[in-house]
Structure formats: C-alpha cells, structure tokens
Structure 1
Amino acid sequence: MDFVTLIGLTAGSLTTVAFVPQVLKTWKSKSTKDISQGMFITFCTGVFLWITYGFLIHDIPVILTNIVTGLLASTILWFKLRYR
C-alpha cells in the first residue's frame, strides 16, 4: 500500500468514525430533536455522490470510507424519520 492511499484511508476512517458516537447516542436516547433532517439528507446525497465519484476514478479509499460513512449517516437519518 502506498503512502497516499494510506493517508486517504486514515483520513476517511477518522471522519467516518466521527459518526459512531452520534449513532449510538441517538439509538440509546431515541431522540433526534436536535438533529437537522435537511442537513442529513444533503449530507447523505453528497456521500452517495462521493461513492459514485470514487467508482468513476477507481479510488478505493474514497469508495470504502464513504460507503461506511453513508451507512452511519443514513442510520442517523433513519432514526430522525422514525423517532419524530
């Protein structure tokens, strides 16, 4: 693995892991009143476009980290819609 790929995977992993505490807190509290639905819809759309971009340029760090980020952000969005 080259250095550039390692930096990409590390950066993507750190920004992805940042969503884990919010997912856990939302799941435990069942409260989403302070979470912006519009922000998460926009964010999830952006992540989907990053995944598409990653496939188009064949960039594994972009693809993998955004798939995991998308799953975590989509989980928060799902909680937002479910726990209204």
Structure 2
Amino acid sequence: MDTITDLIGYCSAVLTTTAFVPQALQSLKTRDLSGISLPMYSLFSLGVSGWLIYGLMIDSWPIIAANSITLILACIVLYLKVKHR
C-alpha cells in the first residue's frame, strides 16, 4: 500500500463487504428471504455494479475488489429472493 489513502480504502472495502456476508450466509442457510426487499436489493446491485465499473475505469483496486465481492453476495441474495418468491 502506497499511501494512507489506500489503507483507508482497503479498510473501508473490507468492512462494507464483510457486512453482507452474514445476510448472504443466512439467506443460503434458511432460504427465508421474507424480510428482504426485492426493489432495494435490485437498486443496490445496480449501484454496486456502477461502483465496480467506476473502479475499473479509474483502476482503483480497493473499489474493484470490494464491489466485485459485494456484487456477488448481493446477487446471491437477489437470486434467492426471486427464486423463492
């Protein structure tokens, strides 16, 4: 890591991405997605996709890594929500 900016970026990426792990695991385990909002997760996934594209455009690895993982986790929850409607 070259700068304090990178350190802040990576720490923030780890925290925000890790926040979605419990929801994805719980959703996979129980298949109970009654408390999950389909519109919210759809919009959220689109937003994360935008951040991923932005990160790729500016070649920012904290943004790319965090949003790649978050998008996968959010899409798992979104897929389960649609599948188990």
What does residue range 1-84 of structure 1 map to in structure 2 within 5 Å? Answer: 1=1, 2-84=3-85
Distance in 2 (CA, whole Å) between partners of 1:41 and 1:4 is 30
State percent identity of aligned pairs.
Answer: 39
Taking structure 1 as the reference length, what is the TM-score of the superposition? 0.95
> Which one-letter code corresponds to 1:63 in the other structure?
I
CA–CA distance in structure 2, aligned partners of residues 16 and 55 of structure 1: 17
Q: CA deviation at 1:57?
A: 1.2
Query: Given the two structures, how large is their TM-score scaled by the length of structure 2?
Result: 0.94
Which consecutive residues of structure 2, in runs of 5 or more, have no partner in the other structure?
A: none
Q: CA deviation at 1:68?
A: 0.4
Distance 2:52 2:25 in 1: 24
Q: Give unmatched runs, 5+ long, in structure 1.
A: none
Aligned residues: 84
